């Protein structure tokens, strides 16, 4: 099963003060399991787009953290910019990438909307696949009147009541949250400062005016040039090259041309490949003919040997470190348990335990998968702690926020190795069982599985203790340490039993 990955691309109404965007990004990056992939700031639009991805629950938490921080730092009563907006955090889309469905993203949108409305008191509108009404599917329809117009209509027009939160705007405005397919934000700059030309071209290409399906467009003046600002909402049905060529034709009609274009955020590789196929007339082209694609696939296969992880472990970087190594040892223990169980299957001598051995093999496979994922999760948790320590501390407020972020990140950094400790004890118990009733020819492998599981527990336990000592919330740290002591006591008993079994069955 694919590891679940969701992408989130919130748009914030601030593109001029880098220190503000830095703090919003830091709040997002501090969440365990979340990777910030890109940040785009535009001074004329006065807008920033931060792209991040990760496990759905982590992405949900990071989106909330970004919205909460933006609400503290951005006052829309003082905001001016070219781009339409109704909120400090203007729009928050969830996009399914791997191992999740669109319905999963709709659920994330609704959960986030309910939390933002209740905890932050910010009105929330749901859009695209998460929309609760047909007239709210389109983001532009929700943004009509922008922040200034919504201030009045939200309290007087029943059609403008939010899906969550109060029917009243504060300086953070409202936020639009939803689920959608991957979108390409693409801007074309013209060789003119006449924004009327950009408006005319936008009317021709956008679907709402009779243009191309899956294209939204506006004409703007940015950096002294007329700009056609676009969102391509389904590039698989309206390819990027088709949009560019239509714009090129329209510029000729107006006696201008394309000066340059830009992407806002990230673009799917397949969209660029399709554009290259069109322009170069590579009718027989296949995506795996891209050198990097073939190379990355080969490297992915190589990484399964563990060489890449061991090289990273030996590097001068702080991650991966001991916590990741503990999880890696646990994954090896799980692999050995599964192997002993499987070499027992199909043997007449062990027919009485065949069903149980199959169950153990399946359980060990699941543990191997989750521990393999924990190798990366531990590194991400530690990186989040380091990111929190890098937050500004010049004022008393910043100091408090920094300490809160450090505490939150440290909690996450302790939770990952504590989970690994639990898995390690389960593996020791399974190693004892396959050692007692599995194939005698693999008795030493059962013992090796137990030894690796014990090493996993010892190393992960050290990480739990270190992180617990750095917490200000002593009660939580005490609970973790108490659980760890119980786990270690159980592990010692399983380990002693396994050693006795090996001596007895192995004739040592």
Q: Which residues are designated catalytic?
A: 83
Q: Are strands 89-98 and 47-54 parallel, antiparallel or unpaired?
A: unpaired
The residues near 223 (Cβ < 8 Å, ≥ 6 apart) are 44, 189
H-type alpha helices, 254-395: 269-280, 291-303, 307-313, 322-344, 354-389
Contact 341, 354 (CB under 8 A): no
What whole-number distance in Å separates Cα of residue 386 and Cα of residue 62?
Answer: 16
Extended beta strands in 99-244, E state: 124-128, 175-179, 184-190, 215-222, 225-232
Least Cα distance to 89 among 154, 178, 185, 6 occurs for 178
> Which helix (DSSP H) or strand (DSSP E) does residue 427 occupy?
helix 396-437
CA dihedral sign of residues 276, 281, 287, 288: negative
SS3 at position 255: coil
What whole-number distance in Å separates Cα of residue 6 and Cα of residue 97?
Answer: 5
What whole-number distance in Å separates Cα of residue 171 and Cα of residue 78?
Answer: 9
Contact 202, 217 (CB under 8 A): yes
What whole-number distance in Å separates Cα of residue 309 and Cα of residue 315?
Answer: 10
């Amino acid at each position: 099963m694919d590891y679940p990955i969701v992408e989130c691309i919130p748009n914030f109404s601030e593109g001029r003060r880098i220190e503000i965007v830095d703090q919003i990004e830091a709040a997002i990056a501090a969440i365990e399991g979340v990777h910030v992939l890109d940040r785009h700031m535009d001074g004329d639009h006065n807008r920033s787009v931060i792209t991040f991805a990760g496990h759905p629950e982590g992405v949900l938490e990071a989106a909330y953290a970004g919205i909460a921080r933006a609400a503290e730092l951005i006052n829309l009563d003082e905001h001016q910019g070219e781009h339409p907006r109704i909120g400090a955090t203007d729009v928050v889309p969830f996009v399914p990438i791997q191992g999740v469905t669109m319905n999963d993203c709709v659920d994330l949108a609704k959960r986030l909307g309910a939390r933002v409305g209740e905890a932050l008191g910010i009105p929330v509108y749901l859009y695209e696949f998460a929309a609760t009404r047909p007239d709210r599917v389109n983001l532009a329809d929700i943004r009509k009147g922008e922040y200034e117009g919504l201030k009045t209509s939200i309290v007087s027009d029943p059609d403008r009541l939010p899906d969550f939160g109060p029917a009243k705007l504060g300086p953070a405005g409202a936020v639009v949250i939803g689920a959608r397919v991957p979108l390409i934000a693409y801007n074309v700059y013209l060789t003119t400062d006449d924004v009327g030309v950009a408006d005319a071209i936008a009317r021709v290409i956008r679907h709402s005016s009779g243009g191309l399906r899956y294209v939204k467009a506006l004409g703007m003046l940015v950096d002294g040039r007329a700009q056609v600002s676009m969102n391509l909402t389904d590039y698989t049905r309206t390819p990027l090259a088709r949009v560019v060529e239509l714009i090129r034709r329209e510029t000729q009609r107006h006696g201008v041309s394309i000066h340059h274009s830009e992407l806002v955020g990230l673009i799917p590789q397949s969209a660029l490949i399709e554009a290259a196929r069109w322009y170069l007339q590579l009718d027989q082209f296949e995506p795996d003919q891209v050198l990097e694609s073939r190379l990355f696939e080969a490297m992915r296969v190589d990484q399964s040997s563990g060489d890449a992880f061991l090289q990273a472990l030996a590097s001068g970087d702080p991650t991966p470190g001991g916590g990741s190594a503990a999880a890696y040892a646990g994954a090896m223990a799980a692999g050995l348990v599964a192997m002993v169980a499987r070499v027992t299957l199909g043997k007449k001598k062990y027919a009485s335990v065949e069903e149980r051995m199959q169950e153990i093999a399946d359980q060990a496979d699941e543990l191997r998968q989750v521990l393999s994922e924990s190798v990366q999760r531990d590194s991400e948790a530690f990186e989040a702690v380091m990111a929190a320590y890098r937050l500004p501390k010049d004022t008393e407020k910043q100091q408090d926020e920094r300490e809160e972020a450090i505490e939150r990140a440290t909690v996450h950094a302790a939770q990952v190795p504590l989970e690994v400790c639990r898995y390690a004890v389960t593996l020791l118990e399974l190693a004892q069982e396959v050692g007692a009733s599995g194939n005698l020819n693999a008795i030493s492998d059962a013992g090796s599985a137990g030894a690796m599981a014990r090493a996993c527990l010892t190393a992960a336990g050290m990480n739990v203790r270190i992180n617990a000592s750095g917490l200000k919330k002593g009660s939580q740290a005490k609970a973790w340490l108490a659980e760890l002591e119980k786990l270690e006591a159980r592990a010692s008993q399983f380990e002693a039993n396994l050693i006795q079994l090996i001596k007895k069955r192995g004739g040592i």
